[in-house]
Structures are given as structure tokens and as C-alpha cells.
Amino acid sequence: MTDLSDSRPSIVDLAEAIQNHTETISDYLSQNSLPELSSLSDGYPFFPGTGPPHLDRYPKPPQKVLDARTQAREACESLMQLITGPADQYFYYITQHLNSVALQYLYRFRIAESVPLNERCTFQDAATKAGVDAGQCTRVLRMAMTSGYFQEPTVGYVAHTAGSMLLLDPNLRDAAGYVVEESLPASGKTVEAILKWPQVEETNETAWNLAHGSDLPMFQFFESHPARMERFMGAMRMMSEGEGYDIKHLVNGFDWKALGEGLVVDVGGSFGHCSYSIADTAPKLSFVVQDLEKVIRTAKTERINDRHGERVKFEAHDFFEPQPIRNADVYLLRFICHDYSDKYAAKILANIVSAMGPKSKILIVDGVLPPPGTLTKAEERKLRILDMNMLISFNGGERDVEGWMSLFKRADSRLGLRHMWTPPDSALSLMELDLAQGESVVSPT
């Protein structure tokens, strides 16, 4: 097998690597009677075994196959770039926003719902059903087709592909809606926002604020726009469905039973998904789930008959105010800090520190950016996309180890990072902090 450790492999080396890796994948699929990979409308929506566990009916592939898939994708992208050449590649790079424009059209006018599921129809029929101009609809659909969304099996006719079928899924549709209706307009205001507010710390001085004409932070604005809040929540559900964000990594990645009859405060814990999952495996622990009054009111109603009701309590609390529960064993912050700049994330942590006892810990579950060049381009691109979205929407961001250490120091000089580890297949790392004196110890695994 060709060794691609050389930073400048030839196109022949790349082609050979692609053949070797795809043969590994093909053999695995055929030997296990798994569906063929297809972009047609009846194609399986995931690479078998890599989708959300509750949606993907196939087992997770062995690591050898997952590695072959990753390396094949990396080699394909490198080969595509070399064959395309820098000048043509540059053209595609600077015009990527037009794909988002096409997606916005498809989303706004619900074009996917205007095309029959298992048969073709004319562009005119699709446009008429959607209530839009046929000429414009045809142009947009043909643009989307260049990226694999919809197909033109016969001139003048449109049909679904596996990609366009995804727009029929409620959560995936919400994700597209959030991107094109919230994030896309904000993207065009990013530089203007940085020029106007160069400190990039405030939650209401963002590109999103400029694009949408609001002086309120996005989440606060959404409170009076429930349809947009629901769309955002659908997008978050889509994101959390993946293996990397599964709560099981939190449940299995920390020794909860060792806390005995201790108390866990789930800060910003929404409806208590984390606490209820942990409670299943740690029968002696008690929990208090904290969030804003409006969230807690709904959570109490929805959870009124749920298991562990005696051990999982709900409390209204704004984490920008001092923490009212003192001396808890663990204060849990899952996927919270990345929404905020260091100024506000430090305030959240400082409010917890004021309530900590000598044996209290803070457990942060969030992304940790690896050093540049340690991931494949595809893997790093996902992280950079998330980081950029945090910037334009909240002035938040993803942090590397040094960024997290700087944040902890800003929050309280006594905070020490005792352990940091990333469970296998998890997109989030666990960081355990306490107030013990001495240098922080970082032990990634």
C-alpha cells in the first residue's frame, strides 16, 4: 500500500491509495451484506454503521474500515485539488456562497416537498406546486444538482437524490434553515461587525446582530420568536444525533458511582437529559438541573412522570448570577462555554467557584481543538466550521488546550485542570477542575 506520509504525494500515489482503501471498504460491505453506496433517492442515507444509533440499523464498522474511509476521503480531496489546479480551485473557493443561496431557495420554498418521492416530475410541475417561477426554480435546481442535490434524469425533469431526500427530515431541514436564514446573512456581516466592535467579547455585538437588526443576544431574541427558537433546537437535535455527541460518552467517561451519595449540579442542563442518563448508572447520586425559568417550567411539566423523579430536581437559575448551591460534588457544564467569549465564560465559571467546597469539582464537557495538522482536512474543517459559527453568532468559539487554560486562569487563579481526556469516538472532551493548589495537570488520553 502506498505510504502517503510524504506531504507531496503524486497523483498516481493518490490514485493507488484510493483504490486500496476503497477495496477494503467494498470488501467489507459485500462480505457483510450491507447496502451498496449510492447517491440515488433510494440510497442508504449513511455510510452503514456511522449514522445516529437510533436511526442507523447497521453495526459500527471495524476500525480498519473506518480508517480506510477516512484515508480514502483525504486522498480523494487531495487528488481533486491537484487535478483541478490552484486557479480553478480558487474560483470554486470564492464562489461557495452561491451553494448556500441555492440551499436557501430550496429551504424557503420547500422545493424538496414539491418533487415526488420515487418518481420524476417536470421543473414546471415542481415550480407550480411550490408557487414559484419555473425559470428561476429550474436554474436553482440545476445549481444544486452540481453538488448532488436532486438530479435531472431526463432533460426538463427533476427527481430526488439521497442528498435532497435529507431536506424532508424535520431536524435536517431545521439545520438547513438555521444555516441559510440565521448564519448565512450573518456571515456577510462578519468583517463589518469586527470593524465596528473589534474587541469581539459582547454577546450582542456580533455579525448576527448586524444582519438581523437586533440589540439582543441571539438566544434572548429567540425567546420572543418561538418559531426561530424551535428551528434552532431542531438544528441542535440534528447535531447531537451523531456518535460524537452521544451522551453515553459523558456517562461512561467519568466514574459517577465513585461519588456515592453525592450531589451533581447540571448547570444550564435544559431538560435534564444528562442527569437522567447518569442517574441510570449511578443509583445513589442526586441531581439538580439548572436553567432559565422558562426552560425549567417546561422541563418540570414534561418530566413530571419520568423515572428518577425523586433524585433529579429542577431549579431556575441564571448561570451569570452567583451559584446558589454550595459544596456540590460536581458542577457539570456540558456544551456551554463554547457559546461565550472568555469574558462571559469566565464569569460563568467564577460564579461556580464561589460556591465550591474543598472537595467540589467542575466537569466541563466541550470541544478541545487539537494542534493544527493533526487531523485530516475533513475532520479539521468540521471543527473550523463550528468555530466560525460561534464567532459570527455569539462571539464565542472553540478553544485549544492553551485557550482553555487561559480561560480557567481568567475565571479564578485557584482553578486547576486536573485531568483532560477524550472518550473514544467522542467529539467532546471531559475536563475536570478543582481548587487544589498547585500547577494544572493536563493528561489527554
Q: How far is 70 from 66, CA to CA, in rounded Å?
A: 6
Of the candidates 160, 212, 338, 419, the residue annotated as catalytic is 338
Q: Which amino acid is at 388?
A: M
Find the angle CA(194)-CA(343)-CA(251) to the nearest 5 degrees.
115
Q: How far is 407 from 207, CA to CA, in rounded Å?
A: 23
* Three-state helix/strand/coil letters over 12-28: HHHHHHHHHHHHHHHHH
The set of residues, in sequence order, having a beta carbon less than 8 Å from that of 259 and lying 6+ positions away, is 282, 284, 285, 329, 330
Verify whether residue 249 is a known catalytic residue.
Answer: no
Contact call for residues 392 and 184 (beta carbons, < 8 A): no
Contact call for residues 416 and 436 (beta carbons, < 8 A): yes
Contact call for residues 18 and 28 (beta carbons, < 8 A): no
Residue 438's region, left for phi above 0, alpha for psi from -120 to 50, else beta, is left
Q: How far is 348 from 361, CA to CA, in rounded Å?
A: 14
The grid cell for 431 is: 475536563
Give catalytic residue positions. 338
